[in-house]
């Protein structure tokens, strides 16, 4: 993270596609969407507010990954 002119800038934010790909490969290791999102936050530089905002796309991706896993079992 770098600060320029009193503005904090997060560099290298993860894209939705990167997070989706990772979640689909890792979903089997986590018991629920919350744990999957928390792990993704550790793995990636997620956009601010994703963990605290239930309407953020990161939650949609976690649920989709879980549903995809369940469809293939």
Tens of each residue's pLDDT in the chain, 73 residues: 444 444 445 557 889 999 999 999 999 999 999 999 999 999 998 877 788 888 999 999 999 999 998 887 7
pLDDT at 51: 87
Question: What does the DSSP 8-state code read for residue 46?
Answer: P
20 sits in which H/E element: helix 16-26
Residue 1 lies in a domain: no
Q: Which DSSP state fits 48? A: T
Domain that holds residue 62: 13-71
In a domain, 8, yes or no: no
| 40 contacts 22 by C-beta, under 8 angstroms | yes
For the four alpha carbons of 48, 40, 16 and 57, in that order, the dihedral sign comes to negative
* pTM confidence score: 0.78
pLDDT for position 60: 96
57 is a domain residue: yes
Q: What angle do CA 71, 16, 26 make, to 5 degrees?
A: 45
Domain count, the chain: 1
């Amino acid at each position: 993270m770098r600060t320029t002119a009193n503005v904090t800038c997060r560099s290298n934010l993860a894209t939705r596609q990167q997070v989706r790909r990772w979640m689909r490969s890792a979903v089997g290791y986590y018991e629920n969407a919350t744990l999957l999102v928390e792990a993704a936050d550790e793995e990636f530089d997620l956009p601010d507010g994703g963990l605290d905002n239930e309407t953020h796309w990161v939650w949609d991706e976690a649920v989709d990954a879980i549903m995809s896993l369940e469809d293939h079992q």
